[in-house]
Amino acid sequence: MQWFRSIPVRFALTICIAAVASICVDAQQADKGQAKKDQFVLVKLKGRKPLPNRHLVIFIGESDQEARSHGNRIEADTDERGVVTLSFDSHIRWFQVWHQVGKPCPTGAGEHAVYHSSVLFDEGALVLDTCGPTLERLQPYFPDRPSVLHVPSKP
């Protein structure tokens, strides 16, 4: 361990450790500041039809309590295909979707229901002021995914 006690070696090791730490911190800060853009489609669950030209109010938060408090919101309209592009920071994890805030459906999910990002990006989130035959869901939109998978028959 004599080599470690020499000043030039310790100095070089200190510089290397500082450089690695600086790179890690810069990478974390760059990740925090980037907004994520994703496309979703609003569909009526009965029949799975897209719903064009609808207004959405989406409450977002880093925690479920923050989303329920209705402090941060995104308002957007679906286009003629029922598709909406949403942009939010990567630290946002909880979502609540409405058409008109404060008018929950009596037999619906309830005004306190929030959805984690893993659910939103997998199967989608129910629109809280819809229920029964008019129940709607905001779900991920994949324009390049074929609607029917073709499996060739065996030769």
Contact 55, 77 (CB under 8 A): yes
pTM assigned to the model: 0.68
6 and 71 part of one domain = no
- The verdict on residue 78 lying in a domain is yes
Q: What is the full per-residue pLDDT of the chain (155 aa) written as tens digits? A: 554 455 565 555 555 454 444 444 444 444 455 667 889 999 998 888 999 999 999 999 999 999 999 999 999 999 999 999 998 888 899 999 998 876 767 666 666 789 999 999 998 998 988 888 888 999 999 877 655 444 556 65
pLDDT for 61 equals: 94
52 and 79 part of one domain = yes
The Cα–Cα gap between 88 and 68 comes to 17
- The verdict on residue 95 lying in a domain is yes
* Domain around 10: 2-32
